[in-house]
């Protein structure tokens, strides 16, 4: 059951029946009948108001809704989207965002167990006001507590073999989480230039973020490299504060390091930076020309690159970049 990622104008909403799920970036667009994460953030440098990223499967697709998670399954691949309003968790005795993130991941793990597909491969997290402080704690740190609590609830490890992920701030809206899962664990990939996020020191919050820098996953006949949201961090410190072009270059250097580490264990042959599909988050719209120039300097005119205005998980980070690529995989591997 192979996968293909299709990028199209969001006005194109007619399905083929092969859609596993995806994301809609930008403004309003016609609704679709497959699980689609709505990322309500301005597109930068695009002639379209909104774009669709859609995962297409090459076989039959089944669908369902479980505890508010809209999901589709193709063979042993599962894609789902859940949105939770924080207001529904007021009065829980803990910050509503923390309670909502724990509940969302609890529901995801219950669905994975029910489907017999226990392994999270890639997760996309979006939350409002990510750098804001409520209940005496930054909201991103509240999210990290709730996420890790759910991993512990369902006896998932919180270090090592954890999914690739991003956590991005939007101007408003619910906690939104999309995920791709499968039957076997991903192969986690870390970055030798950075401390693994799950080993961050306590100065970054009561609980460390639960994600790997990258992951290799293996649908039948394929190898997919997911590079998590990557920013201008060396070790565990932000570098190039206030320099958006410098941060963009450092982010791409970190992505190159993740790709190099992935190639040490990849079964399908080496991934090259030029084949990556990128999503670039820029905190300030006015910084877009500088980011685009710095990105093109190192990555060229990479096909499928989408620039989005959104907030990053640290207030001093101005850019975050995620990436992915797909290779065919021979039955005997490499």
Catalytic machinery residues: 320
Interatomic CA distance for residues 20 and 56, integer angstroms: 6
Question: What 3 state SS string does 202-254 have?
Answer: HHHCCCCCCCECEEEECCCCEEEEEEEEECCEEECEECCCCCHHHHHHHHHHH
The torsion angles phi and psi of 2, rounded to 5 degrees, stand at -85, 160
Neighbour-count burial of 91, counting CB atoms closer than 10 A to its CB (0-12 exposed, 13-18 middle, 19+ buried): exposed
Where residue 12 falls (left for φ over 0; alpha for ψ -120 to 50; beta otherwise) is beta
For CA atoms 245, 251, 255, 260, the dihedral sign is positive
For CA atoms 310, 314, 315, 321, the dihedral sign is negative
Please give the angle made by the CA atoms of 4, 9 and 12, to the nearest 5 degrees.
Answer: 85
Interatomic CA distance for residues 138 and 248, integer angstroms: 24
Using DSSP bridges, classify how beta strands 77-84 and 69-74 pair: parallel, antiparallel or unpaired: antiparallel
Interatomic CA distance for residues 138 and 312, integer angstroms: 13
Contacts for 82-87 with beta carbons within 8 Å, 24 or more apart? 82/107, 82/108, 82/176, 82/177, 83/38, 83/173, 83/174, 83/175, 83/176, 83/177, 84/174, 84/175, 85/174, 85/175, 86/174, 86/175
Interatomic CA distance for residues 332 and 334, integer angstroms: 7
The torsion angles phi and psi of 92, rounded to 5 degrees, stand at -80, -5
């Amino acid at each position: 059951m192979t996968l293909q990622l299709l990028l199209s104008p969001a006005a194109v909403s007619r399905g083929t029946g092969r859609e596993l799920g995806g994301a809609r970036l930008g403004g309003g667009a016609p609704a679709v009948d497959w699980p689609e994460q709505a990322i309500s953030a301005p597109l930068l440098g695009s002639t379209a108001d909104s774009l669709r990223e859609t995962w297409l499967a090459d076989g039959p697709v089944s669908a369902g809704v479980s505890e508010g998670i809209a999901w589709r399954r193709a063979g042993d691949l599962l894609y789902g989207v859940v949105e939770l309003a924080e207001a529904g968790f007021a009065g829980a005795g803990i910050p509503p965002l923390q309670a909502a993130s724990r509940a969302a991941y609890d529901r995801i793990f219950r669905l994975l167990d029910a489907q017999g597909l226990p392994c999270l491969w890639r997760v996309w997290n979006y939350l409002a006001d990510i750098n804001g402080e409520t209940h005496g704690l930054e909201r991103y740190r509240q999210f990290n507590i709730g996420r890790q609590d759910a991993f512990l609830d369902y006896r998932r490890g919180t270090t090592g073999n954890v999914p690739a992920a991003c956590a991005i701030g939007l101007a408003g809206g619910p906690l939104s989480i999309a995920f791709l899962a499968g039957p076997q664990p991903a192969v986690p990939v870390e970055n030798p230039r950075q401390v693994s996020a799950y080993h961050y020191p306590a100065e970054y919050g009561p609980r460390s973020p639960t994600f790997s820098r990258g992951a290799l996953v293996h649908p039948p006949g394929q190898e997919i490299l997911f590079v998590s949201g990557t920013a201008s961090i060396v070790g565990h410190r932000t570098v190039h504060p206030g320099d958006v072009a410098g941060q963009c270059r450092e982010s791409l250097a970190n992505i190159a390091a993740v790709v190099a580490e992935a190639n040490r264990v990849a079964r399908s042959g080496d991934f090259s930076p030029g084949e990556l599909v990128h999503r670039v988050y820029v905190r300030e719209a006015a910084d877009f020309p500088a980011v685009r120039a710095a990105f093109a300097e190192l990555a060229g005119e990479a096909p499928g690159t989408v620039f989005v205005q959104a907030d990053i998980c640290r207030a001093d980070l101005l850019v975050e970049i995620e990436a992915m690529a797909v290779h065919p995989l021979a039955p005997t591997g490499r």
